[in-house]
Structure 1
Amino acid sequence: MHPGLWREIWILIGIAVLSLFFGALTDHPFLIAACGFGFYIAWTLRHLRNLHRWLLDRRAGDIPEAGGLWGEVFDEIYKLVKQASRRQDQLSGMLARFQKAASAMPDAVVVLSQAGDIEWANRSAAGLIGIRYPHDAGVRLLNLLRVPGFAQYLERGEYVEPLEITSPDNREIHVSIQITPFGSSQKLVIGRDVTRLMRLEQMRRHFVANVSHELRTPLTVLGGYVETLRQMDQIKMEDLKKHLSTMHEQSLRMQRLVDDLLMLSKLETASPRTHDEPVDVSALLTSLKEQAMLLSGENHHDITLETDPSLKLLGSREELHSAFSNLINNAVRYTPAGGTIRLTWRAAGDGAEFAVTDTGEGIAPEHFPHLTERFYRVDTARSRASGGTGLGLSIVKHVLLRHDARLEIESDVGQGSAFHCVFPEQRVARA
């Protein structure tokens, strides 16, 4: 038994003994005992009242002083209170750190009560799902987030699959909502911006559709000619040469498409270049000009080249060859017969610039933002007739990005176009 409790028991025994002793002297033992035990009860009630007052308002002062068993009780209660206060401070600190971390998250985070009211939300919730804390604290989430399907999703109780919605504040932002129950029927709502993922998925679908469409035409032509040749008993040499020539053109078209796709995939997935070599752009353009004249053929384009042999570029010769050849070949394909194509390589400010200027039909300004997209064509029929794959300017864009350069486009409908590849100073090496 606790020593303090023994002490209280001995006090009660002492009161009883003294009451019997003084009661025998005064012939009033019960009166003396009642006074003794009444004093003990009053002393106990006084300590109990002090403890009750202190528990009601602990800010009023320190814990009451007392001796004996009550003193030990007060000391133990004081220790428990201090421990609870430290735990509360720790929990408050953890909660503050959690809120600070959640506030810094790019995803929307909303804590709902058992009734579905908003208890807390981070800053990102305002831009993604229109919840502004503390202004919307205590408001039901369903009253603020009125988007199709969300009410059924929240009340259904099955949150294995996320729900994709459109942001109520910005119709161009797509948000993936995921709900996680926790605690006593509370819910944690997390909204993630999936706009980029949806755009990538849309681009992927368009890419697959475009590749399938681009390959279907030459494959159909090849299949048709092969089937025709199989069914012919006798084949004239002239017809055979004609058919084989067409089949060869279609196979080259598919080969160009596959080569451009491989080059584009390589550019998109390759790691940033760490070792660059000096590229003799003048020599490279001289070779590309000769190829352009062969491509021009009977169209007899007037192709001129002006270069500064002292300017070299730090980069990949293979990638620059691909970008420059695409620009030059586009100029040859889309410039009418007898037109002029001018190639220039010169210093521009602190850097350098490669430009291809033609006298073709030109491009309307509304097409400029889309020219570097995959398979985008200003004139689909003419592009396919000229043998283009629709990937040339997309390759140019990625090559220039890998060389810290930019593409500038100038064009007037009916007066021609000019494509400028502007390279920064750190990419230019002067002889």
Structure 2
Amino acid sequence: MNRFWLRISSFFLLLLFLVLAGLGFSVAKLVENSYKDMVERQLLHDADMVVKSVGGSLFSNAPHLQERIREWYGGWDVRVTIIDKNGKVLADSSEDPEKMENHRNRPEIRAIFDDKKEYGMALHRSQTLGYKMMYVARPVYDENGETKAAVRTAISLKEIGKVVDQLWLNLAIAMGIAFLFSGIIGIAMARGITRPVEEITRVAKTLVKKDYSQRVAIRTKGELKELSDAMNLLAESLQSQMEEIYENQQRLSGILNNMASGVMLTDLNHRIVLVNPAMENMIGIKAKDLIGKFHIAAGKSFGLSQLINRSLTEGKSIHEEVHVYFPKERILDVYIAPHVNIHGERKGVITVLHDITNIRRLEKMRSEFVANVSHELKTPVTSLIGFTETLLDGAMYDEEVAKKFLKIIHDESVRLNRLISDILLISKVEQEGLPLKLEEIDMVSVIEECVDTVQEELTKKQLQLSMPERGEVRFEADRDRLKQIILNLVSNAIMYTPPGGKIRIDAADRGEEVHFVIEDTGIGIAKKDIPRIFERFYRVDKARSRNSGGTGLGLAIVKHLVESHHGKIHVESEPGVGSKFTIVFPKKQNRIG
């Protein structure tokens, strides 16, 4: 920007120099010409005086004429010469006429004798004196009006040159002073004009660099003030808009970064432009490894890529479900919509993914639960109806048959009541509607109470039971819920262990935790079934468990009760060898309120 004021100053100084030089030259030439004209008029005046002062008799006596001319005009700066019509010098105020050459061909003399002019004037070098002079000639007439001689007056151009040189020097000094002062004023004006422009340019450059806090601080007037005010207004407007844009970006970024749905932006070249953290988690790839890649890299799903390609080609919104298998199997609800700019031009597509795997699994579980509940309820209800109808049809008069049927009806009613109770219990537990009554208890004593409850079944199947060593294992828990856990696991161990088998129960204090273990030598669980044994109504041996009166909800209840105590349950099992359930409880429960 500094070059700008230098260019303005240089141009102004050059223009000023040319104007002053031209003006000075014109004035000098005018003065020079005026001075020459004045000298010429003075020479004519002197020639006229000589013509009048020289009488006609003097022309006939050359020596006397020379004497008079020398006497009258010898001390002048002006040289006086009298020449006859043949060009002979009759008299001269400075030189000897006899030694002077013929002047007939001199321009000023020819103008008198040949051209018959009133006067003649010429500038040329004097052959006698050896330097340039100005000559003016006047005719001298006889009594008949004929030109008989010429009076020439001359002056050295040295004198004129001195005057002209002095004139040029004075003009040069005057013009130099004018140039100096005008240049200083011009440079100051240029700086005065360019400084606000430089300041405005500086502010504009800071705006380009996204620094919107700068303002034009120089006070100006006129159009520059309007420009400065406009720049400051622009900076304020940009700062306000950028703050608003930044705030909106922060909001959008916060929404994108914290939303559970995966979002991906794809451009018209089928390349990924943006992904949010939820998308990273869904597809198992970081954003830095996705940006710029083709959209097939996201999820590595042909079905998803087909939908994105279709939306890019047709420019339409698409809503479908897609199965992906990388990095793990998922069911995704996919919504794809065109991305357009403010002019309505398509710039790509936005893909929003909702992971509905758990929703679909829960829907499936709900469907299976309804079906299982219906099936489980239908069996005892059918039995009750069937045996009741049989009794009503006359079987009740046969005391032995009636007693047998009534016992079956009683057992089925008990089973139905137990099933309904378990369904209500697991519903309450899942909804966290069953508060725990926490107290410090001894697990060994609770285990003994539960074993006493099932002692008859143990004896009936001749099972060997190993109890934990006598000693206290104390921790915080709900006694009734803990008994439910232990009874369910012990009952399952008894149910699935063949007669003569072994069951081992253990409880141990592990510092901050309490470990409860129940191990049996029963039929075991296949590896493929282990992940599902805690599902509602899931049975490894459906026929046997139903015949034994099981509801299929025992282990589901156990899992929920363990988790309500902030514990963990682990299963190890092998078909034909047996099963081992390990539960880890924290000694202290988190109390709220």
What TM-score comes out, normalization by structure 2 length? Answer: 0.54
* Match of residue 59 from structure 1: 205
**2:493 equivalent to 1:331:** yes
In the alignment, structure 2 segments of 5+ residues that lack a partner are 1-192, 208-214
* Match of residue 18 from structure 1: none
Q: Name which of structure 1's ranges 189-198 and 114-123 shifts more when overlaid on structure 2.
A: 114-123
Q: CA deviation at 1:329?
A: 0.8
Kindly tell me: are residues 71 and 188 of structure 1, through their superposed partners in 2, closer, same or farther at Cα, counting changes over 3 Å?
A: same
CA distance in 2, matches of 1:69, 1:164: 67
Q: CA deviation at 1:415?
A: 3.3
In the alignment, structure 1 segments of 5+ residues that lack a partner are 1-46
Answer 1 or 2: higher relative contact order, Cα 8 Å, separation at least 6: 1
Secondary structure in 1 aligned to 2:524? Answer: coil
**2:397 equivalent to 1:235:** yes
**Matching residue within 211, 216, 220 for 2:382:** 220
Kindly tell me: are residues 116 and 63 of structure 1, through their superposed partners in 2, closer, same or farther at Cα, counting changes over 3 Å?
A: farther
* Match of residue 174 from structure 1: 331
Q: Is the 8 A contact 1:352 1:423 kept in 2?
A: yes
* Match of residue 150 from structure 1: 307
* Match of residue 85 from structure 1: 238
Kindly tell me: are residues 139 and 340 of structure 1, through their superposed partners in 2, closer, same or farther at Cα, counting changes over 3 Å?
A: closer
Secondary structure in 2 aligned to 1:390? Answer: coil
Identity over the aligned pairs, expressed in percent? 29
Q: Match of 1:103, as an amino acid?
A: N
Q: Match of 1:165, as an amino acid?
A: V
CA distance in 1, matches of 2:579, 2:433: 33
CA distance in 2, matches of 1:96, 1:374: 47
* Match of residue 208 from structure 1: 370
Q: CA deviation at 1:276?
A: 1.8
Q: CA deviation at 1:396?
A: 1.7
CA distance in 1, matches of 2:563, 2:302: 42
Superposed CA deviations along residues 128-160 of structure 1, whole A, max 9, x for unmatched, are 47998688778997998852683677858577x
Superposed CA deviations along residues 249-308 of structure 1, whole A, max 9, x for unmatched, are 222222222222222222222269686212243333233222212334643334453453
CA distance in 2, matches of 1:420, 1:88: 62
**2:223 equivalent to 1:70:** yes
CA distance in 2, matches of 1:126, 1:313: 42
Q: CA deviation at 1:324?
A: 0.4
* Match of residue 199 from structure 1: 361
Secondary structure in 2 aligned to 1:365? Answer: coil
> How many residues end up aligned between the 2 structures?
379
* Match of residue 278 from structure 2: 124
CA distance in 1, matches of 2:286, 2:464: 64
Q: Is the 8 A contact 1:365 1:411 kept in 2?
A: yes
CA RMSD of aligned residues (A): 4.2
Q: Match of 2:303, as an amino acid?
A: V
Superposed CA deviations along residues 99-126 of structure 1, whole A, max 9, x for unmatched, are 5312343422345779998664434334
* Match of residue 186 from structure 2: none
* Match of residue 373 from structure 1: 535
**2:262 equivalent to 1:108:** yes
Secondary structure in 1 aligned to 2:516? Answer: strand
Superposed CA deviations along residues 302-351 of structure 1, whole A, max 9, x for unmatched, are 44534534223311011101100001111121122233334333434654
Q: CA deviation at 1:357?
A: 3.0
Q: CA deviation at 1:72?
A: 4.0
Q: Is the 8 A contact 2:317 2:335 kept in 1?
A: no
Q: Is the 8 A contact 1:302 1:340 kept in 2?
A: yes
CA distance in 2, matches of 1:353, 1:135: 45
Q: Is the 8 A contact 1:65 1:71 kept in 2?
A: no
Q: Name which of structure 1's ranges 129-138 and 378-387 shifts more when overlaid on structure 2.
A: 129-138
**2:548 equivalent to 1:386:** yes
**2:556 equivalent to 1:424:** no
Q: Is the 8 A contact 1:409 1:417 kept in 2?
A: yes
Q: Match of 1:166, as an amino acid?
A: H
CA distance in 2, matches of 1:420, 1:117: 51
Larger Rg: 2
Q: Name which of structure 1's ranges 248-257 and 81-90 shifts more when overlaid on structure 2.
A: 81-90
* Match of residue 301 from structure 1: 463
Kindly tell me: are residues 332 and 275 of structure 1, through their superposed partners in 2, closer, same or farther at Cα, counting changes over 3 Å?
A: closer
CA distance in 1, matches of 2:509, 2:283: 50
* Match of residue 247 from structure 2: 94
* Match of residue 503 from structure 2: 341
Q: Name which of structure 1's ranges 225-234 and 110-119 shifts more when overlaid on structure 2.
A: 110-119
* Match of residue 445 from structure 2: 283
Q: Is the 8 A contact 1:66 1:74 kept in 2?
A: no
CA distance in 2, matches of 1:60, 1:90: 16
* Match of residue 406 from structure 2: 244
* Match of residue 118 from structure 2: none
Q: Match of 1:359, as an amino acid?
A: T
Q: Match of 2:394, as an amino acid?
A: M
Q: Name which of structure 1's ranges 338-347 and 309-318 shifts more when overlaid on structure 2.
A: 338-347
**2:481 equivalent to 1:319:** yes
